[in-house]
Amino acid sequence: MRSRIIPALLAFLASAGCAPPQYLQKGVQDGVQLAYRWNHPPGKPSELLLKLVNTTNQDKSVDLIIDLSYQGLTVETMELDTCIRAGRTMNGKLNGVYFIPTRLTTEQIKSGDAVAEMTRTIIAKSICP
C-alpha cells in the first residue's frame, strides 16, 4: 500500500508546482469581477493579463486605467475600453485583455517593486456589439 501512496503523492506535488500563477483579485464593481496576474514568457517581455467576469445578466461596458509603478513612482499608464457580455469571462491573451509594459523590464517586475493599480474603473450597463 505504501508503494502506491508515494508515487501518487509525488505526482500531486509535481502537478501543484506546475500550476499557472493565480490571478490577484482586485474586487467587484457593478457586478464585474476584476483581477490580474503577471506572465513572464521566456525570451519575451512580461505581460499583464487581466481577467474580467461579468456576474450579472446585463452586458457591461468596462473602462479601466491601470497605473504601473516602480519603487513608488508611476512609470506607465495603460487603458482598456471594452464590452463584456452578461455572464461571460474575458481572460488575458485569449480575449485580448492584456498589456505589455514598455518601461519596465521583467527583472523589475519580478523584483516585487513593480505594482499594477487600477486607478480608474468605470463600469456601466451597455449593449455589446
- For every residue of 78-109, DSSP letters joined together read EEEEEEE-TT-EEEHHHHT-EE--SS--HHHH
Reported as a single tens digit per residue, the pLDDT across 15-41 is 555 666 799 999 999 999 999 999 999
Q: Which domains does the chain have, with CATH numbers?
A: 21-125 (2.60.40)
What is the reported pLDDT for 8? 55
**94 φ, ψ (degrees, to nearest 5):** -55, -40
Nearest C-alpha neighbor of 69 from the set 28, 29, 101: 101
Within the chain, which residues score under 50 in pLDDT? none
Per the prediction, the chain carries an average pLDDT of 90
Is pTM, for the whole model, over 0.85? no
What is the reported pLDDT for 21? 75
Distance in angstroms (rounded) separating the CA atoms of residues 47 and 10:
31
